[in-house]
């Protein structure tokens, strides 16, 4: 029997379009990023400013990509989930917003549970992710898509992967493969590869504080540290240096 924690890790590993972190005593400057973001308190209410509006003593929020915001949670622990907006799970989240709505505020655990349809007073981020994933339509993935996914998992650190690399693996033209992959996952092959590299890079930053950021960039398939910096800031609103030196970022799910 597989231990529960290992089951969770395996399930998460199979969906690189979700990056989930736990942070304690978190204070971040105003920023914006290309991912949907869910921020939830594990314990103590926190303050956040979103689009210039201050929300005090909230339990959490769901925010669209590119909306400026920052959080102050000096006495508690937050779960932060970043989700690729054009993946199937990102598209499911987009349906939760009304027209012209950029964010959704949760003022209590009960509001959070009602929104995500999780058990009453549960603050388990794994249950929230499982519930989100359960809302997705069941898909029987094309063998060619699963072969590409397996290849990316095994070779994401190779710097010279191109659309033609993938096309040659499954004997399709790059355009036909791109169309098939997007139809089944909601997102593009390039984004899938990027998220896989970023997730692994973030894991290395948090688990090996002695390794240089330049080495991590090379080891996870980026050409150099500036390229790594660019994509980290674009996707998650912070550079790798901030993640490396902020010891309050305590866990990657």
Residue 253 falls inside a structural domain: no
For residues 39 and 126, state if they share a domain: yes
In three state form, how does the secondary structure of the chain look? CCCHHHHHHHHHHCCCCEEEEEEEEEECCCECCCCEEEEEECCCCEEEEECCEEEEEECEEEECCCCCEEEEEEEEEEEEEEECCCCHHHHHHHCCCCCCCCEEEECCHHHHHHHHCCCCCCCCHHHHHHHHHHCCCCCCCCHHHHHHHHHHHHHCCCCCCCHHHHHHHHCCCHHHHHHHHHHHHCCCHHHHHHHHHHHHHHHHHHHCCCCCHHHHHHHCCCCCHHHHHHHHHHHHCCCHHHHHHCCCEEEEC
pLDDT at 131: 85
For residues 111 and 208, state if they share a domain: no
Residue 12, domain extent: 4-134
For residues 40-48, average pLDDT: 88
Domain tally, the chain: 2
Question: Which pLDDT tens digit goes with each residue over 108-145?
Answer: 988 988 898 887 766 677 888 888 888 887 888 899 99
Task: Supply the pTM of this predicted model.
Answer: 0.84
Paired residues of 169 in beta bridges: none
Token couple for 189:
């092959």
For residues 155 and 128, state if they share a domain: no
pLDDT at 119: 75
Residue 244 falls inside a structural domain: no
For residues 96 and 158, state if they share a domain: no
pLDDT at 249: 65
For residues 157-168, average pLDDT: 94
Kindly tell me if the per-residue pLDDT of 2 is higher than 60.
Answer: no
For residues 8 and 124, state if they share a domain: yes
Last residue of a domain, one of 104, 134, 164: 134
User: What CATH code is carried by the domain that includes residue 169?
Assistant: 1.10.10.60
pLDDT at 6: 37
Q: How confident is the model at residue 4 (pLDDT cuts 50, 70, 90)?
A: very low
pLDDT at 80: 87
For residues 233 and 158, state if they share a domain: yes
Burial of 86 (0-12, 13-18, 19+ CB in 10 A): middle
Residue 248 falls inside a structural domain: no
Token couple for 80:
């932060």
Residue 249 falls inside a structural domain: no
More confident residue, 23 or 92: 92
Residue 151 falls inside a structural domain: yes
Token couple for 167:
């096309």
What is d(CA 149, CA 7) in angstroms, rounded to the nearest whole number?
Answer: 19
For residues 25 and 124, state if they share a domain: yes
Last residue of a domain, one of 91, 106, 134: 134
For residues 149 and 225, state if they share a domain: yes
Last residue of a domain, one of 108, 134, 160: 134
CA angle 26, 106, 233 (to 5 degrees): 40
For residues 40 and 109, state if they share a domain: yes
For residues 198 and 120, state if they share a domain: no
Kindly tell me if the per-residue pLDDT of 247 is higher than 60.
Answer: no
- Phi, psi (deg, nearest 5) at residue 87: -75, 170
More confident residue, 94 or 10: 94
């Amino acid at each position: 029997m597989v231990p529960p924690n290992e089951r969770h890790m395996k399930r998460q590993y199979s969906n690189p379009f979700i990056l989930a972190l736990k942070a304690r005593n978190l204070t971040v400057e105003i920023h914006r990023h290309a991912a949907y973001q869910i921020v939830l308190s594990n314990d103590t209410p926190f303050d956040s400013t979103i689009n210039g509006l201050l929300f005090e003593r909230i339990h959490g929020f769901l925010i669209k990509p590119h909306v400026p915001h920052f959080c102050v949670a000096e006495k508690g622990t937050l779960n932060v989930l970043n989700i690729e907006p054009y993946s199937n799970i990102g598209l499911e989240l987009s349906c939760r917003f009304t027209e012209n709505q950029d964010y959704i505020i949760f003022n209590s655990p009960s509001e959070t549970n009602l929104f995500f349809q999780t058990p009453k007073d549960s603050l388990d981020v794994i249950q929230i992710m499982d519930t989100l994933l359960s809302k997705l339509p069941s898909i029987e993935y094309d063998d060619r898509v699963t072969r590409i996914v397996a290849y990316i998992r095994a070779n994401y650190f190779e710097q010279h992967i191109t659309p033609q690399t993938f096309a040659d693996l499954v004997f399709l033209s790059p355009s036909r493969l791109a169309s098939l992959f997007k139809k089944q996952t909601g997102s593009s092959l390039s984004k899938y590869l990027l998220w896989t590299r970023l997730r692994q890079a973030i894991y290395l930053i948090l688990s090996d504080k002695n390794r240089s950021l330049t080495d991590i960039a090379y080891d996870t398939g980026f050409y150099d540290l500036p390229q790594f910096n660019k994509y980290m800031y674009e996707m998650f609103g912070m550079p790798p240096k901030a993640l490396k030196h902020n010891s309050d970022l305590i866990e990657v799910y």
